[in-house]
Each structure stands twice: as structure tokens, then as C-alpha cells.
């Protein structure tokens, strides 16, 4: 069992309680974000505290963080948990020290951002995290209880100076909003209970949409059937698509953007192929199916570079990992001694086939290649630029 140890009040109480309970195989890990000048001082405090409790401390430093769409805080959090998971297996558990006040802050932040049940359920006491488990055993306890425990046991902890910076949304809530709520309502544990109710609602929705997916999802491609999607009202369709995206590890787009995309899907405009892109992924319609991915379609996905294939080179490894040999060229009807180039679609190409020269675009449509994948299909060209074969995916180099 690994405890995420920042040296603050929460993780100090958690580590001390775990040691007091005599949990076997216990270890502490501190992740240095390298974002503050006092980072080394904080790490040394953690090392000394762990030593005083009879434990060694693992310290991991993060590489330079590159903020994504959700900002530096989110990037730091994701990188921290990635380091905490290092070396753990499926049955291993990470414990983190978030408490009821943290839960209330998370709930309020989600509500202010307009989140639905998935966001409002806030943090779960136990969940799968990557290839291991993440537990938060203190979620039901307010910070006052942790403070009283630390005082009683004579514990010291590290005060992170960034926790006082009101520029961060969470700090603003903690310093300016939650004290008013406590004064008026006597505490914030009701917000934590509200998050638990939302967690229950989210689980019920997940069960419902899992049943819908059995009929709507292609078992091979994981695509969604557009006919099924169009038969649903907008709210249900939106919920199904969100569930489908989360099952693929993708964070869904915003409420309005998703709704507008689904209105375009429902419109059935002839020849239209609605697509939507957002920070975490993309979706596109093709042949009565809805597809999605983590990478963005079109020119935002890098086209592989051309590869020369001289006659004296017996084999070639394609950009997609397939191995081509000169013997395979004969099966494709291509001169095995020819000087060739593997290139990719640029637009307007025609391919030599048994039925004459045919547009490459038409052939790709016949092979069911979605528009956002067509620029990654390898083409065999002669030195004069003529395309003599298309190397279709999932097929053993079938000639056009």
C-alpha cells in the first residue's frame, strides 16, 4: 500500500494513522512538482516525518509540466498520480488524504462550471486509477477532525504557501466562500452528502446506458449506430454519447457543443458528415456510424513521411508497423524489381486497376475508409509518380 505524502495536515494524519494501525507493506511517496522555490525544503520535511514514523520515503520529481486545456493545476494533478502509480500492479492501492472539506470544494467547483451528475459526484472513496486502485479513506471527516487528531498526537505538518494564493479557484473557495457557508449553515458536510447522492445518480445512469450500449455499439469497431442514436430524444442521446466516450477513456465535449453536434446528426442532411473537435478528442459520422478518437482528424493528425524503396532493398517496414517484402509485390501485381516509393494521399490521385484508372477517393469509399483515416493509407508509386497499389489496412496487402 502506497500513501501519497505531501507533508500537509491531511497526508500527515493519514500516514500516521496507517502506521498506528500496523498496515503491512506500507510505503510513502512524495511527488515534487518542481513548481515552487521551497520544493526541496518540503521534500526534506516529508523525508524527516516518514523517518520519525519508521518509514523510508520515495521522492519522485516531475518533468517540466506543459499545461493542457484544463490548466496547470490539472496537468500537475495528472502527472502526480501517474508517478504515484509507477511500479504498482492491479491489486495495489494508493491512499490519498482528501477529506470532507476537499469534497465540498470539489462539488462547488463542479457546480459553478455547470457539471452534470458525473462531475457533481466529486471524488469517490475508492476507484480504479490506471492499473491500480485509489482510495480516499478520510472523505467522510471534516478538516477540524484531522486538525484535532494532529494536535492530540503532537504532529507537525508542512504549510504549502501556494494554498494561500487566492488566484487559484480552490483557494478562493476555501478562504472566502466556505467560511461564510460554515458560519451560516454550521458546516459543509451537507455538500459532501450531496456529492454522494450525485454519485449514486451517476451510477444509475451508467447502468442504464450500459444496457443501451449493448444494442447501439458495434462490437468490432466500437462505433455507435446512428439509427439508434437518432431514435432517442436529445437528452437521452446526449447521455448515451457521454457514456460511450467515457468508456473509451475520452472526456466528453461541453454541453452546448455536444448538443449542437447531435442536432446536426439528427438533421440527416444528404451528403453531410458531421464532425466535432474539442480539446480531448473528436467525433465524426461515416456510413451510419459515429466514430470517436483521442486524436483530432484531418490535417491535425500528422501524415507519415514518404519512404523510398530501392530495388536492392528486400523489405520495408511501413509507418503503421506492417512489413513489406519484395515477394509480396508479385502478389500485388507489381514488378518486384521496380524502384518504388511509399507515399500518402494528397488529393485527386488515380490508381491503375484491372478495370483501368480509378479515382483513389472512390476506392477508399468502397473499402470503407473513413475520411479522417484516408491520408494515412500507404500508396505504392512508381518513379513516374503513378500509383500501382494501395496497401489497405487489416487486409493482407490486397491490390486495388
How far apart CA 114 and CA 135 sit, in angstroms, is 26
The DSSP code sequence of 29-41 is EEEE---STTHHH
How far apart CA 207 and CA 235 sit, in angstroms, is 16
Q: How high is the pLDDT of residue 396?
A: 43
Query: Can you point out the beta strands (E) in 251-319?
Result: 275-278, 281-286, 289-293, 307-309, 315-317
The pTM of the full predicted model, rounded to 2 decimals, is: 0.67
How far apart CA 301 and CA 252 sit, in angstroms, is 20
How far apart CA 122 and CA 303 sit, in angstroms, is 40
Q: Give the domain 217-299 fold.
A: Chorismate Mutase Domain, subunit A (1.20.59)
Q: How high is the pLDDT of residue 352?
A: 78
**Residues 6 or more apart from 399 whose CB is under 8 A from it?**
331, 332, 333, 334, 353, 389, 390
How far apart CA 263 and CA 234 sit, in angstroms, is 8
Contact 227, 287 (CB under 8 A): no
9-20 and 39-52 are packed helices; what angle lies between their axes, rounded to 10 degrees? Answer: 20
Contact 328, 334 (CB under 8 A): no
**Residues 6 or more apart from 174 whose CB is under 8 A from it?**
101, 105, 163
Assign domain 2-191 one CATH number from 1.10.1760.20, 2.40.50.140, 1.10.10.60, 3.40.50.620: 3.40.50.620
Nearest residue to 231 via CA among 240, 222, 223: 240
Q: How high is the pLDDT of residue 131?
A: 83
For the chain, the domains span: 2-191, 217-299, 307-390
Q: What is the DSSP letter of 132?
A: E
Can you give the pLDDT of all 400 residues of the chain as single tens digits? 999 999 999 999 999 999 999 999 899 999 987 777 888 899 999 999 999 999 989 998 887 666 555 566 677 778 888 889 998 988 999 999 999 999 999 999 999 988 888 889 888 899 988 889 999 999 989 999 999 999 999 999 998 887 888 888 888 999 999 999 989 988 888 888 898 899 899 999 999 999 999 889 988 788 999 999 999 999 999 999 999 999 988 889 988 999 999 999 998 776 677 888 888 889 998 888 999 988 654 434 567 889 999 999 999 999 888 999 999 998 888 999 999 999 998 888 888 777 778 889 888 888 878 777 788 899 999 988 889 889 988 544 433 4
Q: How high is the pLDDT of residue 395?
A: 46
234-247 and 189-216 are packed helices; what angle lies between their axes, rounded to 10 degrees? Answer: 90
Q: How high is the pLDDT of residue 295?
A: 64
How far apart CA 135 and CA 129 sit, in angstroms, is 9
Buried b (16+ CB within 10 A) or exposed e, 185-208: eeebbebbebbbebbeebeebeee
Q: What is the DSSP letter of 65?
A: P
Q: How high is the pLDDT of residue 268?
A: 79
For Cα atoms 78, 277, 261, give the angle at the middle one, nearest 5 degrees. 125
Contact 118, 242 (CB under 8 A): yes
Amino acid at each position: 500500500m502506497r500513501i501519497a505524502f505531501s507533508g500537509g495536515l491531511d497526508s500527515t494524519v493519514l500516514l500516521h494513522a496507517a502506521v498506528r494501525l500496523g498496515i503491512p507493506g506500507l510505503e510513502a511517496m512524495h511527488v515534487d512538482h518542481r513548481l515552487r522555490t521551497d520544493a526541496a525544503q518540503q521534500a526534506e520535511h516529508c523525508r524527516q516525518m516518514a523517518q520519525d514514523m519508521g518509514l523510508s520515503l520515495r521522492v519522485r520529481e516531475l518533468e517540466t509540466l506543459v499545461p493542457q486545456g484544463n490548466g496547470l493545476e490539472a496537468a500537475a494533478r495528472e502527472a502526480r498520480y501517474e508517478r504515484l502509480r509507477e511500479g504498482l500492479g492491479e491489486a495495489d492501492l494508493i491512499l490519498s488524504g482528501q477529506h470532507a472539506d476537499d469534497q465540498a470544494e470539489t462539488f462547488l467547483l463542479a457546480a459553478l462550471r455547470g457539471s452534470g451528475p458525473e462531475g457533481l459526484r466529486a471524488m469517490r472513496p475508492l476507484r480504479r486509477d490506471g492499473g491500480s486502485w485509489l482510495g480516499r479513506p478520510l472523505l467522510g471527516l471534516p478538516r477540524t477532525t484531522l486538525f484535532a487528531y494532529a494536535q492530540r498526537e503532537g504532529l507537525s505538518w508542512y504549510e504549502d504557501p501556494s494554498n494561500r494564493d487566492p488566484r487559484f479557484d480552490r483557494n478562493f473557495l476555501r478562504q472566502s466562500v466556505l467560511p461564510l457557508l460554515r458560519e451560516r449553515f454550521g458546516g459543509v458536510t451537507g455538500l459532501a452528502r450531496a456529492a454522494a447522492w450525485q454519485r449514486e445518480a451517476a451510477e444509475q445512469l451508467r447502468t442504464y446506458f450500459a444496457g443501451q450500449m449493448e444494442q447501439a455499439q458495434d462490437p468490432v469497431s466500437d462505433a455507435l449506430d446512428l439509427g439508434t442514436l437518432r431514435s432517442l430524444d436529445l437528452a437521452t442521446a446526449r447521455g448515451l454519447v457521454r457514456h460511450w466516450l467515457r468508456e473509451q477513456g475520452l472526456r466528453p465535449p461541453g454541453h452546448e457543443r455536444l448538443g449542437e453536434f447531435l442536432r446536426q446528426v439528427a438533421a440527416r442532411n444528404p451528403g453531410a458528415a458531421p464532425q466535432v473537435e474539442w480539446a480531448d478528442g473528436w467525433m465524426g459520422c461515416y456510413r451510419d456510424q459515429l466514430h470517436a478518437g483521442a486524436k483530432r482528424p484531418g490535417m491535425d493528425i500528422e501524415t507519415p513521411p514518404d519512404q523510398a524503396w530501392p530495388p536492392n532493398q528486400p523489405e520495408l517496414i511501413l509507418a503503421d508497423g506492417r512489413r513489406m517484402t519484395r515477394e509480396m509485390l508479385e502478389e500485388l501485381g507489381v514488378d518486384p524489381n521496380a524502384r518504388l516509393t511509399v507515399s500518402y494521399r494528397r488529393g485527386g490521385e488515380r490508381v491503375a486497376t484491372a478495370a483501368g484508372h480509378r479515382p483513389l477517393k472512390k476506392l477508399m469509399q468502397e473499402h470503407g475508409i473513413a475520411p479522417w483515416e484516408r491520408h494515412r493509407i500507404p500508396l505504392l508509386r512508381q518513379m513516374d509518380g503513378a500509383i500501382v497499389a494501395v496497401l489497405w489496412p487489416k487486409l493482407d496487402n490486397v491490390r486495388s
